[in-house]
Amino acid sequence: MLAISRGKWPSSSSFSKLYACIALVYLIFFMPKVECKNARRKKADKNFRIKKGDCERVACGHMIVDEAQNCINKCISAECYEEVYAHEPLEDGEVDASRYKRFQACYRAANKYTSKKKMQSKEGQKPVDDGVSQASEVMQEEESIAVSQNIDDDYEDGEDQDSSDGTDYLGLLKKEQSNLVDNNEAVKAQEQMVLVN
């Protein structure tokens, strides 16, 4: 351990450093496992990538990659595809990042619901609602948050509310946000009616 040289004893600071090192080693070895907060999201994203890769290779492998995006999205989740892309499908080679993010959020919520449903069925509880409606609620919440953040960013940047062509985009964003809030309230009211019945 500590060497005693020429009749001198080690100082108290040397002992305190030794005790601190020993305590640190014990702390590292006996610390409980800490799981990071985003572990579930990383797992969901990994599941999404695996499912997407399978769809690209198997179900839509015969198509050109640029033209296969609708096929891939349908293969990943038909319910989420209907919710996000059905009213206006992607054109060949088109990339729409905002709708793709909504699609991913829908898939995550539906996937989360199915895992919750499996847990409840294992425990013998009655499953509650379908994942697509919960996914739509999650998407509406994310959209309203994004819209409010965009509105706040516009005010912080000091940009004018009117664009050069006279369109009031900020007003349109506020109107869209209020529509999302109204839709969210309507969905909650319908769920309450279903629960009462």
* pLDDT tens-digit readout, 62-77: 888 778 888 998 999 9
pLDDT at residue 131 is higher than 60: no
pLDDT at site 82: 92
Q: Is 12 contained in some domain?
A: no
Q: Is 14 contained in some domain?
A: no
Q: Is 23 contained in some domain?
A: no
Task: Show the domain range for 56.
Answer: 38-196
Q: Is 20 contained in some domain?
A: no
5-57 pLDDT tens trace = 555 666 667 778 888 889 888 888 787 766 666 666 677 778 888 989 998 89
Q: Is 18 contained in some domain?
A: no
pLDDT at site 27: 82
Neighbours of 177 (CB within 10 A): 18
Q: Is 15 contained in some domain?
A: no
pLDDT at site 121: 80
- What average pLDDT does range 121-147 have in this prediction? 60
72-119 pLDDT tens trace = 989 999 999 999 998 888 888 888 899 999 998 898 888 888 878 888
137-188 pLDDT tens trace = 655 666 666 555 554 444 444 444 444 444 555 666 666 666 666 666 766 7
Question: What domain count does the chain have?
Answer: 1
Q: Is 177 contained in some domain?
A: yes
Q: Is 50 contained in some domain?
A: yes
